[in-house]
Amino acid sequence: MSETEFVLEMRNIRKSYGSTQALKGISVALRGGRVYGLVGENGAGKSTLVKSMCGAVIPDDGEIVLGGTPVTMRGPQDARDLGVSTVFQELSLIADLSLAENIQLQRKDGWVSGRRKQTRYAEKLAAEWGLASIDASSRIDSLSLRDQQLAEILCAVNRPHQVLILDEPTSALLPDDVDWLERIIRRVTAAGAAVIIITHMLEEIERFCDEIYVQRNGLLVDNVDRSAYDRTTVIEQMIGRSLESAYPERPAFDEASPVVLQAESVGTKGQLRDLDLSIRAGEIVGVAGLDGQGQEEIFEVLAGARRKNAGTVRLDGNTINTSSPAKALRPKKGVNGISLVPAERKTLGAILEMSIRKNIALPVLRRVTSAFWINDAKEESAVRNLMRSVQVDETKIDDPVSSLSGGNQQKVVFAKALANDSDVLLLFDPTRGVDVGTKYEIYRLIGDYARQGKAVLVYSTEIPEIVNLCHRAIVIYRGTVVAEFQGEDLQESNLMSAAIGASR
């Protein structure tokens, strides 16, 4: 087979960040008309490899070959000009412009003047790609996370390309959207382009891909054709050990335990209305629902990030003020309130430019400060204990959070929440964008927190997580609770039926 049959080759690619070797001589080759999967734990080097493919990272050594010709990419625009189009894991469109305006900025065939004409052009383009429901005239940052993800994909496939890179493309999508994405992938490969998908959802690897690369610790440990693919083997190759079960044992729960958190008739100016919710000590309660049904408002209003305009929130039987995150976190002196692990770890959960030490220490400053001075020894001891509890390498204590993989960033956000020792832990899609090994560790942390007699509320876009982690689950639709399941009734089919309105 001739070299020119490969549309993209990465030959012996190496990249280091200080003493950390992110890529240790990796080689991949992509043929046109095929779909490739790239899997591995967070920290395996997948993001660095992908960024090297699309010009966002310049390798220290190695060669990039497109269509048989060695090329040099000095940035993402060089990659786009060469026909490499990317949907990044972290959304990359200009947030304060509309989808129509973002599309115009990327056009190579002339500028369309006037907002109405730009919007009509974008709507026509979306319809051509089978995406008729997206709002092309609104600012990107006003769209739901789902619509932002769809907009990113639309812009990427609209650019001329011979290689399409999809980095966690379905993390915010609904099942019907994933069906749409599959049609897009088939259309792209039918036109002769290669597609490479980076995802932690092995179901999508099995559904979409012709060939799978497995990456661990900066190396490729296997390259397997779909016909020879075995999920258990791939997981063990990814994490370097056997994984007996996808979920740890659910913690025991006494249904007679006292109620820790109670919301009565809580509503907001947005979607949320008449929320009635209670969580007992040691209980893990799940929230299920289709995207945009008000689930995010539940977490925001309980954590003080959004004001309620109706109802009461009680903690251990006492009414508390949740008008700000500080008041929800510390309702009164000596009371451990409500902590939130938000969906967007990079913008809401951590300060990326600061060190791991300083991020984790933020919630415990009062405990390590005396006479206006921070006791460095106390701070370091507290931070190291928390890093051990979430299994983050202690040698990285003074590294910026931005240097960590996505999964380890999420662990730092968890450590911050654990530092508060709150009576209630709110988790909004806590495993979004993390690998199977890190997911297991997060599941373990959730179970351990409940075993301490704490109350846990968790929303997940992955229904199996709710079924396997939670003692009870509620389903929200149009801002109100429409169903509740526990015991043998807590099944995927019941949750999905209630979420789509089949029981109404």
**pLDDT one-digit tens code per residue, 445-473:** 999 999 999 999 999 988 889 999 999 99
Coil/strand/helix, residue 139 = strand
Backbone angles phi, psi at 141, to 5 degrees: -75, -5
At 132, is the pLDDT very low, low, confident or very high (cuts 50, 70, 90)?
A: confident
What is the distance between the alpha carbons of residues 2 and 61, in angstroms, rounded to a whole number?
24
- Burial classification of residue 31, based on how many CB atoms lie within 10 Å of its CB (0-12 exposed, 13-18 middle, 19 or more buried): middle
Most confident of 3-12, 105-114, 363-372, 456-465: 456-465
Token match 């006292």: residue?
A: 258
Using 50, 70 and 90 to split pLDDT, how confident is the model at 12?
very high
- State the pLDDT at residue 3: 41
Query: Worst-scoring range by mean pLDDT, 139-153, 186-200, 490-504?
Result: 490-504
Give domain limits for the chain: 3-239, 258-337+422-504, 349-419
Is this structure's pTM higher than 0.75?
Answer: no
CA distances from 281 to 252, 278, 368, 418, 445 (A): 11, 10, 28, 16, 16
**DSSP-based three-state secondary structure for 266:** strand
For residue 242, what pLDDT is reported?
62
Encoding tokens for residue 387?
A: 């890093």
Cβ proximity of 162 and 131 under 8 Å: no
Written as one string, the DSSP assignment of 415-455 is HHHHHTT-SEEEEESTTTT--HHHHHHHHHHHHHHHHTT-E
Distance from CA of residue 74 to its chain's centroid?
28
Q: What pLDDT does 227 receive? A: 92
Amino acid at 31: R
Q: Which of 45-59, 98-112, 243-257, 403-417 has the highest mean pLDDT?
A: 45-59
What pLDDT is recorded for position 2? Answer: 41
> With pLDDT > 90 as the criterion, what percentage of the chain qualifies?
50
pLDDT value at position 458?
96
**Strand (E) or helix (H) holding 384:** helix 376-389
Cβ atoms of 152 and 143 within 8 Å: the answer is no
pLDDT digits (tens, 9 = 90+) for 369-402: 877 788 888 888 989 998 988 888 888 899 999 8
Structure tokens at 9: 């080759």
Binned at pLDDT 50, 70 and 90, residue 343 comes out as confident
Confidence of residue 336 (pLDDT cuts 50, 70, 90): confident
Instruction: Say whether pLDDT at 244 is over 70.
Output: no
| Strands of the sheet with 455-459, listed across from one edge | 338-341, 424-428, 455-459, 284-288, 472-477, 480-486
pLDDT at residue 503, rounded to an integer: 47
pLDDT-derived band at 498, boundaries 50, 70, 90 = confident
Residue 329 clears pLDDT 70, i.e. is over it: yes
- pLDDT at residue 70, rounded to an integer: 95
CATH number assigned to the domain with residue range 3-239, chosen from the 4 options 3.40.50.720, 3.30.930.10, 3.40.50.300, 1.10.3720.10: 3.40.50.300
Tell me what pLDDT residue 504 has.
45
User: What is the tens place of the pLDDT at every residue in 162-182?
Assistant: 999 999 888 778 888 999 999
Minimum mean pLDDT among 1-10, 174-183, 355-364, 424-433: which range? 1-10
Domain 258-337+422-504, architecture per CATH: 3-Layer(aba) Sandwich (3.40)
What is the pLDDT at residue 240?
Answer: 76
- Taking residues 36-56, report their average pLDDT: 89
pLDDT band of 27, cuts 50, 70, 90:
very high
- Fold matches, 3-239 and 258-337+422-504: yes
Residue 161 banded pLDDT, cuts 50, 70, 90: very high
Contact between 277 and 459 (Cβ < 8 Å): no
Q: What whole-number percentage of the chain has pLDDT above 70?
A: 97
